[in-house]
């Protein structure tokens, strides 16, 4: 597996759930076929909230819940097919029939994987890893984004540029 240099690490702070949704929405708008968003972070960090924003950016209704009975939910009515996985229940036992996920992880849709750490060894080389941490202020979150590979880097560059512009416009209008 090619590990890309750590120069592709980016840290940003999101002050509210709404900010996380908006950030995600821009991510959904710039997403391209084949992009994989790996979401990590403790329980309640905001992974599903971010996934919801990405879904909105793809033109889908918000994803308010993670798939419960199945590990993956398919959303086919947006700009690009979106697959939302929540691997929390896989926990440390991940290994069984993991290739079941290959059609999503290596396909032409947008793949969002909560608790991606459980299948770390099976993830594509090209992917965006987003790790969310709670901060002391109740609704504040820090997100560490690492882009591995060309597609991830291209998508993230557009994402962060548009996010910066959006924040700038907010500051001017408030």
Ligand X SMILES: Nc1ncnc2c1ncn2[C@@H]1O[C@H](COP(=O)(O)OP(=O)(O)OP(=O)(O)O)[C@@H](O)[C@H]1O
Q: State the residues that interact with ligand X by CB under 6 A.
A: 14, 16-17, 19-20, 41, 43-49, 66, 88, 114, 139, 141
Do residues 24 and 53 make contact, with C-beta atoms less than 8 angstroms apart?
Answer: yes
CA dihedral 105, 110, 115, 121 (to 10 degrees): 30
* Using rule CB under 5 A, residue 40 touches Mg ion: no
User: What is the C-alpha to C-alpha distance for residues 55 and 21, in angstroms, rounded to an integer?
Assistant: 10
* Using rule CB under 5 A, residue 127 touches Mg ion: no
Q: How far is the CB of 101 from Mg ion (least distance, A)?
A: 17
Q: How far is the CB of 92 from ligand X (least distance, A)?
A: 15
Which of ligand X, Mg ion, none does residue 6 bind to, with CB < 5 to 8 Å depending on kind? none
Q: How far is the CB of 67 from ligand X (least distance, A)?
A: 11
End-to-end CA distance of the chain: 46
Do residues 113 and 37 make contact, with C-beta atoms less than 8 angstroms apart?
Answer: yes
User: What is the C-alpha to C-alpha distance for residues 115 and 67, in angstroms, rounded to an integer?
Assistant: 13
Write the interaction track for Mg ion spanning residues 56-95; mark x where CB under 5 A is met and - where it is not: ----------x-----------------------------
Q: Which of 48, 52, 131, 147 binds Mg ion (CB under 5 A)?
A: 48
DSSP-derived letter for residue 26 is H
Give residues in contact with Mg ion (CB under 5 A). Answer: 47-48, 66
């Amino acid at each position: 597996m090619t590990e890309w240099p750590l120069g592709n690490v980016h840290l940003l702070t999101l002050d509210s759930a709404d900010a996380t949704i908006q950030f995600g929405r821009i991510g959904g708008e710039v997403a391209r076929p084949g992009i994989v968003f790996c979401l990590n972070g403790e329980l309640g960090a905001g992974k599903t909230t971010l996934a919801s924003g990405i879904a909105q950016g793809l033109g889908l209704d918000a994803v308010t819940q993670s798939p419960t009975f199945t590990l993956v939910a398919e959303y086919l009515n947006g700009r690009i097919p979106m697959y939302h996985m929540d691997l929390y229940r896989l926990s440390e036992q991940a290994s069984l029939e993991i290739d079941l996920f290959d059609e999503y992880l290596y396909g032409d849709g947008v793949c969002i994987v909560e608790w991606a750490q459980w299948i770390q060894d099976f993830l594509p080389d090209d992917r965006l890893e987003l790790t969310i941490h709670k901060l002391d202020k109740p609704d504040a979150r820090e997100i560490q984004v690492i882009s591995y590979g060309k597609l991830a880097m291209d998508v993230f560059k557009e994402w962060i540029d548009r996010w910066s512009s959006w924040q700038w416009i907010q500051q001017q209008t408030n």
